[in-house]
Structure 1
Amino acid sequence: MNTVSRRLGISMLRSARLLTRAPWTRIQSWRSAMGWPDDRGAELADAVFLADAVFLADAVFLADAVFLADAVFLADAVFLADAVF
């Protein structure tokens, strides 16, 4: 149980870092880098960056949920096997 708690805590901390400490960079297209007006591309890049950060955090959380469920199931299976034998 201690290993599961530690693993879950580390991953939750990693998820929090992704959302709070990730740099908010504006990716410029080649048009805006040359001085051409292209605000829509920059706004789209910002939206994609935010969506990627949220998706990554969700994927880490989902992996933790699956890991925790597997650990609980494994612990229950071992307990049940010990009780039967």
Structure 2
Amino acid sequence: MMTELGNNNVLTAELMKHVHNEILVGIGDSDKMVTLEETITAFRSLPNAGLTVLPRTPHPLEQVDLNRLLIEFNGFFG
């Protein structure tokens, strides 16, 4: 499934520019599934987005340091 999503991404930059919700886009610095460049492209396409790069963090959400994630959320959503 993840490979198919990567090969056929239906959430294009053109579509994302119409999303006006506040969104925090994040990537782990050890992510092997998504590149920083892909993440920055998504961030730049979203009109009300923030960007965070989480240190020592791989892709699976269950491996994220929850305290660090909470700090990022509070900083963005205040």
Shorter chain as denominator, the TM-score bin is: under 0.3
TM value normalised by structure 2: 0.26
Which of 1 and 2 has greater Rg? 1
Structure having greater relative contact order (Cα 8 Å, sep ≥ 6)? 1
TM-score by length of 1: 0.24
